[in-house]
Amino acid sequence: MATTIKQIDDFLALKRIAVVGVSRNPKETSYTLWQELRQRRYDVVPVNPATPEIDGRRSYASVRDIDPPVEGALIMTTAAVAEQVLEECVAAGIHRVWLYGGLGGGATNEATIAAAERHGLDCVAGHCPYMFLPGTPVFHSIHGFGKKLTGSYPKPG
Amino acid sequence: MPTATVIYRSASGTTRRLAEEIGAHLESRSINTTVQSVGDADPASLAGVDIVLLGCWTSGLLVVAQHPDEPWKAFVRQLPALSQGRVGLFTTYKLATGSMFAKMRAALAGKVDRVDLELKSRDGHLSEAGRLALDRFLGTV
């Protein structure tokens, strides 16, 4: 399942998105990306079963608990946890997901990609949203450029 | 009691830290202060505020082409005219602010009559010089 630019554009066109695995640590990528999306006026809902609140925002234990429901889920857990999250997304009626991919793999591996396919989810697999948000710090563009050089950048589709 | 709103656009958290330190300093001067990100603030709510401070991280190629990024500019485009209150700008940067303040002022053209403060910090902390500049700025309110 090769992710296309259209899938990424469609995901980033959503308004209300769950971010699963948001850390309370401001130095963690999951926290900074959640903040980035907030500042871009996405209605982003944190999901972290370890805490009821992050930065004054209610944090949910599962995507199934979110009300009103979200349109998509950005999954930033480890791959080991992501399979369970995908099942919860299906149970919550979420059909559009993004398996975060960063250094160390993030939520993406062969098993999670296969699980997303098995569930029939529209899945962005293995990329970092920072590369596709306009006007982010230059190193994110360099990351994208590197992916283009290695042929792993998404195709238009 | 005068009111202030400090609005920030932060990419890594440094500009947010500066905004929070600016907010704490204003509170210490008995100014009723709100600190919000560009994603949380309602642009229309700034119309009646006495003091508005708008901050953004310095985007660009380290020493050239510095500019505020799109989320900050998008917020500014939605601002009403801020003719009632005093307006100040702040930024955080790595090597140089260069054209940052000029670009911020240009984005605010037609929204504010003048900008009375330009404050910058490398590390997101409000320096002693920054506190003094803020106090001078407050003296004009």
Longest dimension (CA), chain A: 42
- How much of chain A, in percent, has pLDDT values that exceed 90? 72
| Domain membership flag for residue A78 | yes
* Contact residues, chain B, for A137 at CB < 8 Å: 11-12, 59
B88 vs B25: CA distance, rounded Å = 14
Interface test with A, best of B17, B40, B62 (most A CBs within 10 A): B40
pLDDT, residue A104, reads: 65
B68 vs A130: CA distance, rounded Å = 17
Q: Which of B11, B16, B74 sits opposite A137 (nearest CB)?
A: B11
Residue type, B121: S
| Domain membership flag for residue A129 | yes
- How much of chain A, in percent, has pLDDT values that exceed 70? 97
Cβ distance A143 to A21 under 8 Å?
Answer: no
Q: What is the CATH number of the domain that holds A81?
A: 3.40.50.720
CB-based contact, B58 to chain A, within 8 Å: no
A50 vs A63: CA distance, rounded Å = 14
pLDDT at A83 over 60: yes
| Domain membership flag for residue A157 | no
- Find the mean pLDDT for residues B64-72: 90
Cβ distance B125 to B49 under 8 Å?
Answer: no
β-bridge partners, A45: A18
| Domain membership flag for residue A123 | yes
The encoded tokens of residue B125 equal 């902390």
| Domain membership flag for residue A45 | yes
Q: What are residue B4's phi and psi, to 5 degrees? A: -140, 145
Longest dimension (CA), chain B: 42
Other Cβ atoms closer than 10 A to B35: 22
pLDDT, residue B44, reads: 94
Instruction: Tell me how many domains chain A contains.
Output: 1
pLDDT, residue A62, reads: 97
Q: Which residue has the tokens 């238009």?
A: A156
CA distance, residue A126 to nearest chain B CA (Å): 22
* Total CB pairs under 8 A between chain A and B: 36
In order of A65, A125, B4, B60, the CA distances from A81 in angstroms are 17, 15, 44, 37
| Domain membership flag for residue A104 | yes
B33 vs B110: CA distance, rounded Å = 25
Other Cβ atoms closer than 10 A to B93: 20
| Domains assigned to chain B | 3-130 (3.40.50.360)
The kind and range of the H/E element at A155 are: none
Q: How many residues does chain B have?
A: 141
- Find the mean pLDDT for residues A5-17: 96
pLDDT digits (tens, 9 = 90+) for A15-68: 999 999 999 999 899 999 999 999 999 999 999 999 999 999 999 999 999 999
In order of A52, B5, B57, the CA distances from A37 in angstroms are 20, 22, 16
* The model's pTM: 0.86
B64 band by pLDDT with thresholds 50, 70 and 90? confident
A56 vs A70: CA distance, rounded Å = 19
Give the residue with greater pLDDT, B54 vs A156: B54
Interface test with A, best of B14, B37, B73 (most A CBs within 10 A): B37
Residue A144 sits in which domain range? 5-150
A138 band by pLDDT with thresholds 50, 70 and 90? confident
Check residue B89 and give left, alpha or beta (phi > 0: left; psi -120 to 50: alpha): beta
| Domain membership flag for residue A121 | yes
